[in-house]
Amino acid sequence: MSVNMTQRLEIRKISDLIPYERNARTHSPAQIDQLRRSLREFGFVTPVLIDSAGNVIAGHGRLEAAKLEGIEEAPCVLVEHLSEAQRRAYILADNRLAEAAGWDKAMLSSELLAIHGDGLDISLAGFEDADLRIEDSGHFWDEEAETSEEYEAFVEKFKPKLTTDDCYTPANIYAAVQSWAVARYGLQGAEILRPFYPGGDYQATEYPEGCVVIDNPPFSILSEICAWYDEHGVRYFLFCPAMTTFSINSGRCNYLPCGLSVMFDNGAEIGISFLTNMGDCKIEIAPDLYAAVDAANRINLRAVKAELPTYSYPVNVVSVAINKLAKWGAPLQIHAADVQFIRHLDAQKDAGKAIYGGGFLISEKAAAEKAAAEKAAAEKAAAEKAAAEKAAAGVWRLSDRERTLIASLGGGHG
């Protein structure tokens, strides 16, 4: 069987590459941050797929992360044999087919433990410390632990997650946004519409005169939505992704940067801002809007934390959370004579709880050494965070062309 194969690899300037404007795949701020960390750790090892004109076929997330990292060039594979229809289909297939894959959970556990044992942060692979598992006689933990809240939370991580297009806004978050928008733009008495719901068709919706759309639309087609509303004279105030706020609708909206990470009903946390075609401010920072949404979001987060409590243990108990000491370079050695393996404390057993992953009781001497290591790790973590924040504070300068353009704005004053 003859199969077309790509044969050209080139290094291209990222500024010359053209993202696909109808890309249906979205990238949350958290995912972009993971991609940035991956680039720093592994380098730019996965090429971007482009056509001969420099249009991006696959690799939009990597390019966005690379730009934020200040990377100017990217390895690119030229894909020149696809028709226009095939190119559009492949852009979807590249993401969709990957979603269809599953996990060999035993192998995944083994690989995560190996990576962690080699001193690498497993978050570089998109996992968390809580994803580390220890198999015991064919079972995960023990029978008591399998029914605990922590185990249920772990299992939940492997269930399919909805995209931002499926994240329905919590009622109190929406109420805060609607109340602010009504007051800010004098919308009292106007009919407020929410056309974006599963199966909804915003273009087929009837828009009475004087109405306004206040809603959280699919982020993947947000520019298309704004352009359609502008063309049809429909007022709107919409949620938008925080990281790409100004690029939506090519700068033709009025923008309200917020950058608040909001937890949606499906458990996804996404950084949001807002945009509108109302008002006379192109860019508006609205602390009262941020405060209203933040207050509602905190209520939701407290409810989740109440459902999935985290445990703290006495200094004489070691749980798997101690693995964080390795990340921060805090050595600790506890000998066999100083430990006793346990699956739960007596107080937990009475309450039907267990130590997530099992644990150990340790001697007073070992507990003192553990406390010293934890203090050293905390100090190092704080120092590295401060250093990273300082290093990230880069400064971009204006070109002569941009200075000339600025001088022409506002009637040329200044």
Q: Kindly write down the DSSP assignment for every residue of 386-414, as one continuous string.
A: HHHHHHT-------HHHHHHHHHGGGG--
What pLDDT score was predicted for residue 218?
A: 87
Q: Kindly write down the DSSP assignment for every residue of 50-110, as one continuous string.
A: E-TT-BEEE-HHHHHHHHHTT--EEEEEE--S--HHHHHHHHHHHHHHHHT----HHHHHH
* Residue 113 Cα to chain centre, angstroms: 24
Q: Which two tokens stand for residue 132?
A: 């580390």
Is the Cβ–Cβ distance between 86 and 79 less than 8 Å?
A: no
Architecture field, domain 167-307: 3-Layer(aba) Sandwich (3.40)
Query: CA-CA distance, 367 to 264, in Å (whole number)?
Result: 40
Fold of 8-99: 3.90.1530
Please identify which residue in the block is written with the tokens 């050293």: 376
Do 8-99 and 167-307 agree at the fold level? no
Query: Residue ranges of the domains in the chain?
Result: 8-99, 105-159+311-385, 167-307
**Beta carbons within 8 Å of 117's beta carbon, 6+ residues apart:** none
Query: CA-CA distance, 142 to 151, in Å (whole number)?
Result: 10
Q: pLDDT tens, 28-83?
A: 787 888 888 888 888 888 898 988 888 998 888 899 999 998 999 999 989 888 88
> What is the average pLDDT score of the chain?
79
Verdict on whether the full-model pTM lies above 0.95: no
Query: CA-CA distance, 214 to 227, in Å (whole number)?
Result: 16
Query: CA-CA distance, 281 to 275, in Å (whole number)?
Result: 11
N- to C-terminal Cα distance for the chain? 68
| Backbone φ, ψ for residue 271 (5° rounding) | -75, 125
Task: Report the side by side order of strands in the sheet with 73-78.
Answer: 8-13, 73-78, 48-50, 56-58
Q: pLDDT tens, 314-325?
A: 889 888 777 777
What pLDDT score was predicted for residue 304?
A: 66
H or E segment to which residue 236 belongs: strand 235-241
Query: CA-CA distance, 132 to 112, in Å (whole number)?
Result: 6
What pLDDT score was predicted for residue 147?
A: 42
Residue ranges of the chain whose pLDDT lies below 50: 133-148, 150-151, 153-167, 308, 414
Strand 359-362 to strand 317-318: parallel, antiparallel, or no bridges (unpaired)?
Answer: antiparallel
Query: CA-CA distance, 133 to 175, in Å (whole number)?
Result: 41
H or E segment to which residue 214 belongs: strand 212-215
